[in-house]
Amino acid sequence: MKVTRGPWFGLFARQLIKDVCQHILLSVLAGLLLYIAIDTVETGNMAKNAEDAWDVLRLELVTLPVVFQQFASMAIVIGTATALSSLVRRGEVIAMFSAGGPPALLLRPALLAGVLWALTYAGVTEWVAPWAHAEVSQLRRTLGIGSTRTAGMRGSRNWFTGRDRIFRVGDMLQADGQSLADVLILDVQQGRLVERWDVARLSWKAGVWTAHDVVQRRWPTPDTLQTQRVPELRIELAETPEDFVRSVGTPERLAFSALAEAVRARQRLGQPAEVHTVELYRRLTQPLTLLLALLCSAGLVLKLGGRRPTVAAALGIGALVGFALWLTDELALAFASTSALPPAMAALLPPALTGAAAAWLWVTAYRRGITD
């Protein structure tokens, strides 16, 4: 007996998955190339020699994973809309409906394509983006460019109390916390500041912290100040790189397990944890949101596309859905930052609204057929 594939993964379904993935990939590449073209004009002015030009090129390349995270929702809905509109325009969808085929023949392949891109997004966020954020920050500092919104520390999150000293970290040059920049170390004993280190860079190697370009100040007595500048100095600290990652690491630079540990550590120490908690929940809900947005875009094409939709109409539909998704996500984050919404609700709001819209559109699409 010959084993045949189900219609939801037959030749038509495989070709549909291929078309959707190709259109999404083209949308992603278009967004990345547009970003490079615009951002190179800004950062290219900082290049004064060949070495700076190489740093500018590296900066553009390592920024691409971060840009992909920001542009993924728009690219996925635009790619899906254009791919399905091309099927409708060529008459394949009409022929399928006329032959009695259900919309599930479109829904299931689109669902599989969405799963592939959701997993791709989750993989980039987990394994590539933390490294990329750290590299972007370090290269921008090398070129003398101000930090971006996501490249450095924000607010009071860069302060924390260690076992013996108080720290303020300006930036983490490596995602694993082994290289820190603009570090202030305070030694407070019996309510009095007795020693202060202003460190340009603090690095961890072989279990030892080494401070580079240090200004050291001591107060042997309340009325006496001793100051010296040291190019390099070993400092005995009880903290490890993991302590800095948990305490001052920005959420977008942490892997999921490190982010969960940072949330627990900040809650235990009484530090603000709302931003970290929202990011922790979004690591779970954002891929689901992208999947539901893909289905929403596909349902909207079937509902509004007409018999011969144009590419312009498909681009308009994709841009509309993508902008609505981006606006919903930004509003949810804004409400969470002001404590107007709990972190869990802020993270669940985009997939909930997108899922409701996708369900309504596909219920409508299921009513379409030969009588349309």
146-155, 291-300, 311-320, 336-345: which range is least confident on average?
146-155
Mean pLDDT of the chain: 86
The pLDDT of residue 278: 93
Of 101-115, 141-155, 208-222, where does the model show the most confidence? 208-222
Q: Please tell me which residue, 154 or 185, carries the higher pLDDT value.
A: 185
Contact call for residues 259 and 277 (beta carbons, < 8 A): no
Q: How many other β-carbons are positioned within 10 Å of the β-carbon of residue 263?
A: 23
- What is the tens place of the pLDDT at every residue in 45-72? 766 666 778 888 899 999 999 999 999 9
The pLDDT of residue 305: 61
Share of the chain above pLDDT 70, in %: 91
Share of the chain above pLDDT 90, in %: 46
Task: Please tell me the distance from the alpha carbon of residue 92 to that of residue 256, in angstroms, as a whole number.
Answer: 43
- What is the tens place of the pLDDT at every residue in 275-291? 889 999 999 999 999 99
Q: Judge whether residue 307 has pLDDT over 70.
A: no
Q: What does the domain layout of the chain look like in residue ranges?
A: 7-145+276-365, 155-241
Phi, psi of 202 (to 5 degrees): -120, 120
**HSE-CB of 43 using CA atoms within 13 angstroms:** 28
The pLDDT of residue 46: 67
- What dihedral angle (degrees, nearest 10) is formed by the CA atoms of 135, 136, 142, 148? -150
Rounded to the nearest angstrom, the gap between the alpha carbon of residue 358 and the centroid of all alpha carbons in its chain is: 24
Mean of pLDDT values over 77-102: 85
- What is the tens place of the pLDDT at every residue in 99-147? 777 788 888 899 999 999 999 999 999 999 988 988 888 888 888 776 5
Radius of gyration of the chain (CA): 26
- What dihedral angle (degrees, nearest 10) is formed by the CA atoms of 346, 158, 172, 38? 60
pTM, two decimals, is 0.85
Mean of pLDDT values over 9-20: 87
Mean of pLDDT values over 211-229: 92
CA angle 240, 211, 272 (to 5 degrees): 45
SS3 content of the chain, % helix, strand, coil (to 5): 65, 15, 20
Residue 242 to residues 1, 200, 245, 314: CA-CA distances in angstroms? 59, 20, 5, 47
203: β partners:
179, 210
Q: Judge whether residue 41 has pLDDT over 90.
A: no
